[in-house]
Each structure stands twice: as structure tokens, then as C-alpha cells.
Amino acid sequence: MPEPTSPLDAAGLRHRVQAALESFLAEQTAVLAAVSPDLAPVSAAVRDFVLDGGKRLRPAFAYWGWRGAGAEDTDEVIAAVASLELLHACALIHDDVMDDSDTRRGQPAVHRRFAGLHRAGQWRGDNGAFGRSAALLVGDLCLVWADIALNTSGLSNDALRRARPTYDQMRVELMSGQYLDVLEQALGTGSIERALHVARFKSGLYTIERPLRLGGLLADADEELLSAYSSYGLPLGDAFQLRDDVLGVFGNPEETGKPAGDDLREGKRTVLVATALAHADAAQASLMERLLGDPALSESGVSALREVIVDTKALQEVEELIESRTAEALAGLAATPIDDGAREVLRQLAEAATARSV
């Protein structure tokens, strides 16, 4: 799909978010450089990570939450919504440390990048440990920078004060959801209901409904509009995470930026996997239990698991769930009291967030 027709680029958003992030990170790079020239690899890692990838989904929902509330397009709101990419960077960088992932967005994960620096410099100690420590701190820094970017966006103090509780709630939910995700892998309950709950907290809420609401609150939206946003954003967040789970198993690595089958190697307890387990016969269940979460899982192991997921109709059921949640979201959107321009972009964003290819 050519760039200009993407709803993610409506109002020139992608380009403007990029410019806002470049400008913010240039300032922060200077701050770090004043502390020590040894921090150059830290700022470079964040710049490369944040500027070279990402669909800017969260800024888009926050921006259209603002526009949908009738507020004017300003550079300040762009700076504010761009901050969500820094929060997302923290989540991904820490996630990759926890999952010991090799790649992200088609590049080495941040902890691998720092391990490589350690190896190239022939420094003391273990290069994996150095990489993990550096990535932990780089992620922490992104969490703080996200906060700074929002607070220094130039939006009024009243606007920031209105949005703050939702911003904080979103951050707490994100960390909580990530913990529940790690716990679910450890427990391996195989419960579909639990997997849906985890999906909502670890990603659904903070990708769509919370950013949308944040934009609305920044623009002083009333309760009626915020509640309409929720009726669109909550089911769409579920659909988004379910699509992400499907892509994690069946996605094209060139599009996802992660090796094929990585979610299976990590033993992620997604709704897709839980559904397959629920429908599996004894042979299929035993194959799943044996292969899921095996870090050394081969291509043929990945194929065998995919086959079970298809044969048990888990894939079909999850696709139907994505469809019904998306339909629910679009029904919510139809009843949302906003102008037709914003509605049309949000309709297209719903498609983009749940599309079969990314």
C-alpha cells in the first residue's frame, strides 16, 4: 500500500511525529553528552530504535482522540502524542530482555547491540550480562523520557493535569499486564479467559483505548465522548492483540521484524495457543506441550505447531473473534459523536490495526 493512503499518515502524522521525536531526542542526546561522552551509545541506541521503526499506532490513536474532540491541530499535540513512542520503546526493550529475543524491528535487540559493543571492545566480564544491564537502563531512561516529552510538549498545564491520571493508569496497566504475561507462561494454565485478560492489559488497552482517551482528555472531551471512545477502543484493543498473536505465529518475518515462530519458541500463552489446547486431541495436546516454549524449536517444529493450530480450528476461531470485536468497535465508532473526517480516519485505523499483513 503506498504511504500517502495509509490512515497512519493522515494529517501528515507519521512525518510530524518523526520530526517531534528527532527534535526531542536531539535535545536529550545533548543532555546526556553533558553528563559524559561515554553515554553516546545510550542515546544512539534509543535514536536508532525509536526513529527507525514502528507504525506510530499509539500516537495516531491519541492524535485522533484529540481531533475527534474538536481540538485544533497544533505542533504541541504532536509532541505530546509522540511521547507514547518512547513509552512503547521502554516496553519493547524490556520485553526483549525478558524474552531474550535476538531481534526487534529487523535489527538486533537493544541488549544484543550492547553485548556486541562489549564484545567488540573486548571489555571485562560477560558480554550478555553487560548487554542486559545496559538495555535495562536504556529502557528505564525511555520511560523517564516519555514522561519528560509529554510534560514539555507545550500543552497547557490544565490539559496535562486532565490527562495525567489516565496516563499513569496506562503505565501501571502496562507493567501489570507484562507481569501477568510472564506469569501466564510460567503457570501454563492454558485458560482462554486468562489469556484474553492478559492480552487486554499487556497491550490492548495501552495501544488503543488509553491513547484515544488521553488525546480526548488533553482536548477536554466530555464524558459522553470519552465513553464512546471506550466503546470503540476496548474491543478494538482486543482485536489488535489477537491479530498480533496470529502474526506472532503465522506472520511474515520481513513484515513483523521478528523470526517466524518466535512466540512459539518463547512459549507465549496467547488466546490462539489456549484455544488450540482447548480443542486438541491427546496426540495434538502432547505435541504442543512438548514443543511450546522450546528455545531451540526447529522450522519443522514451528510447522508442526502451526498445523495443530490450524487443524484444531483455533486459527479460524481467533480470526472470527478478531472480526467480531472489530465489528463491535466499528459499531461503537458509528455512534461516536465526532465529525465525519475523524470518524473515517478512525475507521481506517481500525482496519490497519487488525490487518492480516502489517
| Contacting residues toward its own copies, per CB under 8 A | 28, 31-32, 35-36, 38-39, 42, 90, 94, 97-98, 100, 118, 121, 123-125, 129-130, 132-134, 136-141, 143-145, 147-148, 151, 157, 161, 164, 168, 171-173, 175-180, 182-183, 185-188, 197, 201, 267, 293
Shortest distance in whole angstroms from residue 123 CB to its own copies: 4
Instruction: Write out the three cell numbers for 311.
Output: 487443524
Shortest distance in whole angstroms from residue 148 CB to its own copies: 5
* CA pair distance 207, 200, nearest whole angstrom: 10
Q: Are 175 and 105 in contact (CB under 8 A)?
A: no
In the bound state with its own copies, the residue whose beta carbon lies nearer, of 176 and 303, is 176
Shortest distance in whole angstroms from residue 252 CB to its own copies: 28
12: Cβ contacts below 8 Å, ≥ 6 apart: none
Cell 495501552: give the residue.
206
Shortest distance in whole angstroms from residue 234 CB to its own copies: 15
Q: Are 243 and 355 in contact (CB under 8 A)?
A: yes
Shortest distance in whole angstroms from residue 125 CB to its own copies: 6
Buried b / exposed e over 138-150, threshold 16 CB at 10 Å, is bbebbbebbbebb
Termini Cα distance of the chain: 10
In the bound state with its own copies, the residue whose beta carbon lies nearer, of 110 and 342, is 110
DSSP state of 72: P
In the bound state with its own copies, the residue whose beta carbon lies nearer, of 198 and 212, is 198
Q: Are 292 and 211 in contact (CB under 8 A)?
A: no
In the bound state with its own copies, the residue whose beta carbon lies nearer, of 5 and 157, is 157
Cell 531474550: give the residue.
100
Length of the chain: 358
Shortest distance in whole angstroms from residue 154 CB to its own copies: 13
In the bound state with its own copies, the residue whose beta carbon lies nearer, of 7 and 211, is 211
Q: Are 211 and 84 in contact (CB under 8 A)?
A: yes
Q: Are 78 and 39 in contact (CB under 8 A)?
A: no
SS3 215: helix
In the bound state with its own copies, the residue whose beta carbon lies nearer, of 36 and 357, is 36
* CA pair distance 242, 196, nearest whole angstrom: 9
In the bound state with its own copies, the residue whose beta carbon lies nearer, of 87 and 280, is 87
In the bound state with its own copies, the residue whose beta carbon lies nearer, of 67 and 118, is 118
Cα–Cα nearest to 192, from 318, 105, 72, 95: 318
* CA pair distance 117, 240, nearest whole angstrom: 35
Cα–Cα nearest to 1, from 249, 352, 345, 354: 352
In the bound state with its own copies, the residue whose beta carbon lies nearer, of 164 and 306, is 164
Cα–Cα nearest to 82, from 105, 51, 109, 52: 51
Shortest distance in whole angstroms from residue 227 CB to its own copies: 19
Shortest distance in whole angstroms from residue 174 CB to its own copies: 8
Shortest distance in whole angstroms from residue 250 CB to its own copies: 24
